[in-house]
Structure 1
Amino acid sequence: MRTNRKANYTEDEVFQWLESKPIGSVIYISFGSEVGPSVDEYKELAKALEESSQHFIWVIQPGSGKTGIPKSFLGPVQTDSEEEEEGYYPEGLDTIVGDRGLIITGWAPQLLILSHPSTGGFLSHCGWNSTVEAIGLGVPILGWPLRGDQFDNGRLVANHLKIGFVITSGVGEDGRPRRFNKDDIAAGVERLMIDVEVHEQAKKLSKEFESGFPVSSVNALGSFVEFISQKAT
């Protein structure tokens, strides 16, 4: 639980914005607090959103596009004067898209957004917490993995659970996958938002969590805790 819930919109304002949008029409975009795309990739994402007709909520953390862990993740710092951490911000995008988009800087009420009927997709880095929250609430995922287990989580979502896709790009001149551009992003978003089977599968899977974690998950967690306890004694 974080105490530094600073944002440019209140929970009520976010809720009211969602209330004004059709069911399943909004894609939620958030890359978590630790790491995100590069500045160039953020610019491509901004272009994709500008040129589309898609309703969206985009959460941008202080320090976005910079290397290292954002200061916002480290908690509040006790200083005489607080300095805002600079990072990428899509200047002018809010004016261009108008009420079609909501750009949140800082903390966002993720569970409120994911649980709202107007939210129809989640463009995510596939961090485990975000992935589990989306699965539990029946929201399809467009994965943009950035490091570590996020790539495995993306494959779980797309290949095993079949509740979303992983964003893909073409191949560069050197034969390696190139950096995502606005067309890659726009194509991924459109595919996620219109795929009926993926949406149905996500809703179906979420029903298994209506009463909490399945018994098998609880048993597995209990066994793990017991194993760790034995090793520690």
Structure 2
Amino acid sequence: MFNTCADLECPFLDYMGDQMKMPVWGVGPLLPQQYWKTFGSPISDREIRQHTRESSCTEDEVIQWLDHKPRRSVLYVAFGTEVGLEEEELVELAAALEESTWDFIWLIGSTRFGADFSDRVESKVGDRSVIIKGWAPQLLILSHPSTGGFLSHCGWNSTVEAIGRGVPLLAWPIIGDQYYNAKLVVSHLQVGYRVAEDLSQVVKKDEIVTGIERLMCDEEMHERAALIKAKFEHGLPASSSAFDAFRDFINARL
């Protein structure tokens, strides 16, 4: 059983079944139930998570800021809770966000470089940014119509949360399966770009600025992302009937 679906990875599910010589079921993406019930409107993070986590911004502050931004004009930047950039690349990213003309929300909560760093960025970009220290309402941000792109490490949950809401990705994988997830996004689904071709080297400011511009302005990519989003319109993908197939498989052997 895989935490994916045929709408996203049909040829790869088929390949795994052929290689393992056994049935394969794509039973995901396994996301909060509220995710599937709020198609077309922003998802309230506090309705999903019973316990609020420490954050420098409230959910209301984030949505009020987003509500005043044009459609698809905001870049969301986040690298999850387990990995982060090294200091040299963090400086390059900050410089790129400052130079870019796009508004952005940056979850900087996992960085170890402290408040002084984020304060310097905020002082340079003003109302063009929201920099969040601590926890960010990611589902709310990705489901808001003002969000037009996601600069991400391509962890699986972040990847499918974005794809399911039609938000293209600028892929910056760091460890493990993130590289394969990035390849799925860029090469197979074609709803994203790599932040740089050679990720074994320090990613430079100019590469990031170019990547952001390509991502936010590529109308064909946004159209492809919207087509995939439409597959999620009626809730958990139709391929989630794999749950039923798994049940029938078990019952047939009882």
5+ long unaligned stretches in structure 2: 1-48
- Tell me what 1:48 maps to: 96
Amino acid paired to 2:211:
G
**Are residues 1:31 and 2:79 paired?**
yes
The corresponding residue for 1:159 is 187
Q: Which residue of 2 aligns with 1:182?
A: 205
In the superposition, relative to structure 1, how do residues 18 and 27 fare at CA in structure 2: closer, same or farther (>3 Å)?
Answer: same
- The percentage of counterpart residues that share the same residue type is 52
What 5-or-longer segments of structure 1 have no aligned partner? Answer: 67-85, 171-175, 229-233
Q: State the TM-score, normalized to the length of structure 2.
A: 0.73
Matched residue, 2:241: 219
- Aligned pair 1:128/2:159, yes or no? no
User: How many Å apart are 1:222 and its aligned residue?
Assistant: 5.5
Residues in 2 aligned to 1:102 and 1:223: alpha-carbon distance in whole angstroms:
45
SS of structure 1 residue aligned to 2:164: helix
Contact 1:22-1:118 at 8 Å conserved across structures: yes
Q: What is the TM-score normalised by the length of structure 1?
A: 0.80
1:227 and 1:87 map into 2 onto residues whose CA distance is: 54
CA displacement 1:178-199 (0-9 Å, x = unmatched): 2101111111111100000110
Q: Which residue of 1 aligns with 2:61?
A: 13
Aligned partner of 2:203: which letter? Answer: F
Deviation per CA, 1:51-94, whole angstroms, max 9, x where unpaired?
A: 221100000124x158xxxxxxxxxxxxxxxxxxx588334110
Q: Which residue of 1 aligns with 2:136?
A: 108
Partner of 1:147: 175
**TM-fit CA distance, 1:44:** 0.6
Amino acid at match of 1:189: I
User: In 2 relative to 1, CA 52–204 (structure 1 residues): closer, same or farther, beyond 3 Å?
Assistant: same
**What is the RMSD of the two structures over their aligned residues, measured on CA atoms?**
2.6
Distance change >3 Å, CA 225–CA 29, structure 1 → 2? farther
Q: Which runs of 4+ in 1 moved over 4 A?
A: 221-228
Q: RCO higher in 1 or 2 (8 Å CA, sep ≥ 6)?
A: 2
Aligned positions, number:
205
